């Protein structure tokens, strides 16, 4: 965190200096973060689930956790620990490392053979008992402890009525529970068994972290959790970029729920994102598989034929997601305006449908096979991205490529300056691609908003005009849209209606200094919502959204960010007075509804009282929820309120169910839905590993994604040609692929050359001295870098063998003030099944002097 998020690291340091907070760093390397921490736990790259699983096992078997009533109260009331799982469910304990339902992947091979799944799960046995889709009229769960009942229809809610029946038809009974947590199929017993093999000895053997260090971490984390104390976890792409990245983060969430550290101040699992406003780019997505506000992208592969089908497939009757009809209708109104009517399903048919995995890696594989015609590349540098040689092979088959960046990046010059051109393998004449380069404005040269990892929208104002004809990305996108709309304006074809009807109305009311620059505030207004036909009547929050077309709002989670034309809340800069405890609610605006701690109902006990004086956050004052933050709960719903039988939406939850987006209102220790690779996190080895999986016969994730290609070979387990674990990372001094730092002499001089960090032990073995050249090789390629020999890297002892790790920052390329080899020449196109994140943090290599 100190390495890659030094500004955010101000706060842990403040906690350390002013409040004697304990800081722990779990990382393969001893970094600038480790230097600031009380404990550094070194682990082999990619073994985080083994480490976290060890913590879980140690927590649930500890005396304190089993005797302090706080933990049990939180567990029983705020998690799904007591819920019973389907009787057919089989755990990795039963099937030696896989879950029930594993099968061959059957995707859309004909149209899009690039999904990459190694296998897939039929996940219906992972659900709660009684929740499996069965033949109509056959309620399940007769032998369960509490009898689920069939749902009866209920009076329509106050929202528009049109989609109520769809949502109501999805109502399920609450899962059966065992309040004693003894039933062998209750979530708690399942997870306890699941993690029982993650003993300190196993943790040491798998991760290489010395047992004493691991136990110190376990003790410190437990001692700092409970009624009066909370522990926070922070991670960045070191956790996400694995074939089981989402499971790592889920594993931490599971631990935090066990420790009662969710929904409380100073708790949580905090994502430090890889890029400014990456949070914003998933909220208002540049992702292929979701649309605004985390609604799934309509898909040609699912039951998404009509809006009603879409809602029947993706909707939920219980919890806040029951409002999905209002969210998506308001979204469609933002897309198609007046053309979106109840008669045409609000233009749902015009919306693009996905036909498979269209994320980064499969798109480049498809490109390499000539299936992609053109690419708009905005602020990204794929010429130096994952398996860079293969990605460039893809780019060479494009008809056209548009690159927008501050400088002529490697992606703009790959056709005349890439290594394969310089070494004579190819010439520019061999590449038919027409490349267009657009110089761009910097962020301070246009107006807009950033969304940070706290879900906080912060408006930034324009400081200066961009130089010359550099233009903002907003300008480019707006102008491109205007031209496309002009092009299709006269088209009689039905397929072009989507473009013809697209709302594209961001012309500024007052002339801008840059001709053609759209009005960023009008775009935020469309995202944050207004009454249809009355653009000056902005919406105050998502509760105002309707499913009858009367509201227009692209993103329900951003609804309320701009509640009146003169109240641009992301631009607000009013911190709480010094010395007060508060959430700084006047500083910018956080989604949803300016809530700063999500699920903060859990900061009070089931009766609505703060868990402790020290950890007060929100509480029930006898008539409403109040406190330092905006309550993430219905303001007037008393703690004692019972869930309404067959109630829809939040009526399905009681006054003590904090997790309002979850259908059952509680935090999920076990995930009955939503993940493709298992309901519980499980340690798998990275696809390339020097060792066998010490926990199960199953070596790697059975459902990971891998794209078979001559340029995407993998090393087999324990391949003697590639004996070392390699991890890649960033340095404080540089930014991503370098476009924003390698061209800046002040930053370039601080870290001028690409290097490989290796231990003195490995360096001695290989005859490599500090600053000498080293060759690094994987099955994908070879690069050179200078050696940085340091004891900050340490050989790890796994049982009776020693495994060496090396590490490389990946900021370099062949353009810029400072240049160096492309580290992503070494990486492979492998990914996680849920979100197609690549594996960039743990693979194997060889190193030699020279």
Partner 1 sequence: MPEPMGFYTDTTVCIGCKACEVACKNWNQLPAGGGGDWPMTGDSYDNTRRLDGIHWRHVKFIEQIPEDRSGGRWLMMSDVCKHCVQAGCLEVCPTGAIIRTEFDTVVIQSDTCNGCRLCIAACPFGVIDINPASNTAQKCTLCYDRMQAGLEPACSQACPTDSIRFGTIAELREMAEARVAQLHALGEKRAYLYGADETIVGGLNSFYLLVDEPEVYGLPRDPQLPSRNLLPSSLISAAGAVLLSLLALVGLRKNRMDERAASDGGPRDA
Task: State the residues that interact with partner 1 by CB under 8 A.
Answer: 2, 6-7, 9-10, 13-14, 16-17, 20, 30, 32-36, 40, 42, 731-733, 744-753, 755, 770-771, 786-792, 794, 817-818
Nearest to partner 1 of 26, 60 (CB atom):
26
Nearest to partner 1 of 93, 761 (CB atom):
761
**Min. distance of Cβ 32 from partner 1 in angstroms?**
5
Nearest to partner 1 of 81, 751 (CB atom):
751
Q: 186: which 2 tokens? A: 């209750």
Nearest to partner 1 of 325, 820 (CB atom):
820
**Min. distance of Cβ 762 from partner 1 in angstroms?**
14
Which residues contact residue 593 at a Cβ distance below 8 angstroms, ignoring those fewer than 6 apart?
541, 542, 560, 630, 632
Q: 165: which 2 tokens? A: 């029946």
The number of CA neighbours under 13 Å toward the Cβ of 557 is 21
Nearest to partner 1 of 456, 675 (CB atom):
456
Nearest to partner 1 of 675, 731 (CB atom):
731
Q: What is the DSSP string of 217-243?
A: HHHHHHHT-SSS----EEE-HHHHSST
Nearest to partner 1 of 13, 76 (CB atom):
13
CA 327 to chain centre: 21
Tell me if 754 sits within 8 A of 820, measured CB to CB.
Answer: yes
Among residues 175, 97, 190, 98, the alpha carbon closest in space to that of 669 is found at: 190
CA 719 to chain centre: 32
**Min. distance of Cβ 742 from partner 1 in angstroms?**
9
Nearest to partner 1 of 35, 642 (CB atom):
35
Collapsing DSSP to helix, strand or coil, 806 comes out as strand
Alpha-carbon span 21 to 480, nearest angstrom:
51
Radius of gyration of the chain (CA): 27
Tell me if 707 sits within 8 A of 116, measured CB to CB.
Answer: yes
756 - beta bridge partners? Answer: 787
Nearest to partner 1 of 685, 815 (CB atom):
815
Q: 571: which 2 tokens? A: 């631009």
Alpha-carbon span 794 to 44, nearest angstrom:
10
Tell me if 48 sits within 8 A of 54, measured CB to CB.
Answer: no
Total residue length of the chain: 850
| DSSP state, residue 155 | -
Alpha-carbon span 720 to 660, nearest angstrom:
51
**Min. distance of Cβ 21 from partner 1 in angstroms?**
12
Nearest to partner 1 of 17, 343 (CB atom):
17
Nearest to partner 1 of 269, 748 (CB atom):
748
Collapsing DSSP to helix, strand or coil, 131 comes out as coil
797 - beta bridge partners? Answer: 802
Tell me if 689 sits within 8 A of 844, measured CB to CB.
Answer: yes
Nearest to partner 1 of 464, 716 (CB atom):
464
Alpha-carbon span 166 to 276, nearest angstrom:
39
| DSSP state, residue 549 | S
Nearest to partner 1 of 638, 752 (CB atom):
752
Nearest to partner 1 of 84, 739 (CB atom):
739
Alpha-carbon span 822 to 420, nearest angstrom:
12
Nearest to partner 1 of 279, 794 (CB atom):
794
Alpha-carbon span 608 to 629, nearest angstrom:
15
**Min. distance of Cβ 749 from partner 1 in angstroms?**
4
**Min. distance of Cβ 187 from partner 1 in angstroms?**
39
Report the phi/psi class of residue 444: left, alpha or beta, with left for phi > 0 and alpha for psi in -120 to 50.
alpha
Nearest to partner 1 of 35, 802 (CB atom):
35
Alpha-carbon span 556 to 592, nearest angstrom:
8
Taking each helix axis as running N to C, give the angle between helix 48-60 and helix 200-207, from 0 to 180 degrees, rounded to the nearest 10. 170
Alpha-carbon span 642 to 413, nearest angstrom:
64
Alpha-carbon span 720 to 382, nearest angstrom:
31
Alpha-carbon span 432 to 428, nearest angstrom:
8
Which residues contact residue 187 at a Cβ distance below 8 angstroms, ignoring those fewer than 6 apart?
79, 80, 81, 82, 83, 84, 85, 669, 670
**Min. distance of Cβ 33 from partner 1 in angstroms?**
8
Alpha-carbon span 421 to 416, nearest angstrom:
6
Which residues contact residue 697 at a Cβ distance below 8 angstroms, ignoring those fewer than 6 apart?
96, 97
**Min. distance of Cβ 819 from partner 1 in angstroms?**
8
Among residues 565, 729, 754, the alpha carbon closest in space to that of 45 is found at: 729
Nearest to partner 1 of 436, 773 (CB atom):
773
Tell me if 52 sits within 8 A of 681, measured CB to CB.
Answer: yes
**Min. distance of Cβ 822 from partner 1 in angstroms?**
18
Q: What is the DSSP string of 648-660?
A: -BGGGS-TT---T
Nearest to partner 1 of 282, 790 (CB atom):
790
**Min. distance of Cβ 590 from partner 1 in angstroms?**
22
**Min. distance of Cβ 146 from partner 1 in angstroms?**
52
Which residues contact residue 350 at a Cβ distance below 8 angstroms, ignoring those fewer than 6 apart?
335, 336, 497, 498, 501
């Amino acid at each position: 965190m100190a390495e890659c998020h030094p500004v955010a690291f101000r706060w842990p340091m403040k906690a350390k200096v002013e409040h004697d907070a304990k800081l722990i760093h779990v990382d393969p390397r001893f970094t600038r973060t480790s230097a600031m921490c009380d404990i550094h736990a070194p682990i082999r790259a990619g073994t985080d689930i083994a480490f976290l699983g060890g913590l879980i096992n140690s927590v649930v078997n500890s005396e304190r956790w089993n005797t302090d009533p706080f933990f049990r109260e939180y567990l029983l009331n705020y998690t799904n620990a007591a819920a019973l799982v389907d009787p057919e469910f089989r755990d990795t304990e039963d099937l030696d490392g896989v879950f029930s339902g594993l099968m061959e992947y059957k995707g859309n091979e004909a149209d899009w053979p690039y999904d990459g799944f190694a296998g897939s799960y039929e996940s219906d046995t992972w659900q709660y008992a009684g929740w499996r889709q069965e033949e109509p009229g056959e309620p399940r769960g007769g032998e369960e402890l509490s009898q689920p009942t069939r749902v009866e229809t209920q009076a329509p809610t106050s929202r528009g009525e049109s989609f109520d029946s769809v949502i109501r038809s999805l109502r399920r009974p609450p899962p059966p529970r065992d309040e004693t947590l003894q039933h062998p199929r209750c979530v708690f017993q399942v997870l306890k068994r699941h993690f029982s093999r993650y003993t300190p000895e196993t943790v040491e053997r798998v991760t290489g972290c010395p047992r004493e260090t691991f136990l110190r971490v376990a003790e410190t984390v437990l001692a700092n959790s409970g009624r009066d104390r909370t522990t926070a976890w922070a991670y960045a792409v070191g956790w996400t970029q694995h074939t089981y990245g989402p499971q790592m983060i889920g594993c931490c969430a599971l631990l935090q729920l066990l420790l009662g550290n969710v929904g409380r101040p100073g708790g949580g699992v905090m994502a430090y994102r890889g890029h400014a406003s990456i949070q914003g780019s998933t909220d208002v997505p540049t992702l292929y598989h979701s649309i605004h506000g985390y609604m799934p992208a309509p898909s040609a592969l699912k039951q998404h034929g009509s809006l009603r089908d879409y809602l029947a497939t993706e909707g939920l009757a219980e919890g806040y997601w029951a409002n999905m009809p209002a969210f998506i209708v308001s979204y469609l109104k933002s897309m198609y305006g007046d053309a979106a009517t109840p008669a045409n399903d609000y233009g749902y048919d015009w919306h693009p449908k996905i036909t498979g995995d269209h994320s980064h890696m499969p798109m480049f594989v498809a490109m390499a096979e000539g299936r992609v015609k053109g690419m708009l590349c905005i602020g990204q540098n794929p010429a130096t991205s994952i398996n860079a040689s293969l990605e460039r092979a893809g780019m060479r088959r494009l008809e056209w490529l548009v690159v927008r960046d501050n400088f002529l990046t490697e992606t703009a010059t790959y056709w005349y300056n890439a290594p394969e051109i310089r070494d004579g393998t190819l010439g520019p004449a061999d590449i038919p691609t027409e490349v267009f380069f657009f110089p761009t404005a910097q962020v301070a040269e246009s107006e807009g908003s950033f969304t940070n990892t706290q879900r906080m929208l912060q408006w930034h104002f324009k400081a200066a005009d961009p130089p010359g004809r550099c233009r903002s990305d907003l300008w480019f996108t707006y102008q491109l849209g205007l031209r496309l709309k002009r092009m299709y304006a006269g088209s009689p074809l039905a397929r072009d209606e989507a473009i013809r009807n697209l709302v594209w109305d961001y012309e500024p009311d007052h002339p801008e200094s840059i001709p053609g620059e759209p009005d960023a505030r009008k775009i935020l207004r469309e995202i944050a919502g207004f009454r249809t036909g009355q653009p000056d009547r902005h919406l105050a929050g998502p509760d105002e959204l309707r499913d009858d077309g009367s509201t227009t709002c692209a993103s329900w989670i951003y609804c309320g960010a701009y509640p009146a034309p003169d109240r641009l809340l992301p631009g607000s800069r009013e911190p709480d007075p010094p010395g007060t405890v508060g959430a700084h609610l006047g500083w910018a605006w956080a989604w949803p509804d300016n809530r700063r701690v999500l699920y903060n109902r859990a900061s009070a006990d089931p009766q609505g009282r703060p868990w402790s004086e020290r950890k007060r956050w929100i509480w029930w004052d006898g008539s409403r929820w109040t406190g330092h933050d905006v309550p993430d709960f219905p303001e007037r719903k008393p703690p004692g309120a019972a869930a309404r039988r067959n109630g829809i939406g939040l009526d399905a939850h009681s006054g003590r169910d904090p997790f309002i987006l979850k259908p059952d209102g509680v935090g999920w220790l076990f995930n009955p839905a939503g993940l493709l690779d298992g309901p519980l996190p499980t340690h798998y080895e990275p696809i390339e590993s020097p060792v066998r999986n010490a926990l199960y016969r199953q070596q790697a994730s059975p459902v990971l994604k891998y794209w078979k290609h001559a340029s995407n070979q993998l090393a087999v387990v324990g391949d003697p040609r590639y004996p070392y674990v390699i991890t890649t990372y960033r340095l404080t001094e540089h930014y991503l692929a370098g476009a924003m730092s390698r061209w800046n002499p002040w930053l370039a001089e601080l870290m001028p050359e690409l290097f490989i960090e290796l231990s003195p032990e490995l360096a001695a073995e290989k005859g490599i001295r500090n600053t000498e050249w080293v060759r690094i090789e994987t099955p994908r390629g070879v690069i050179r870098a200078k050696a940085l020999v340091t004891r900050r890297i340490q050989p790890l002892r796994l049982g009776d063998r020693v495994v060496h790790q090396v590490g490389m920052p990946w900021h370099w390329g062949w353009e810029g003030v400072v240049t160096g080899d492309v580290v992503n020449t070494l990486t492979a196109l492998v990914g996680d099944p849920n979100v197609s994140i690549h594996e960039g943090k743990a693979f194997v290599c060889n190193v030699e002097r020279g």
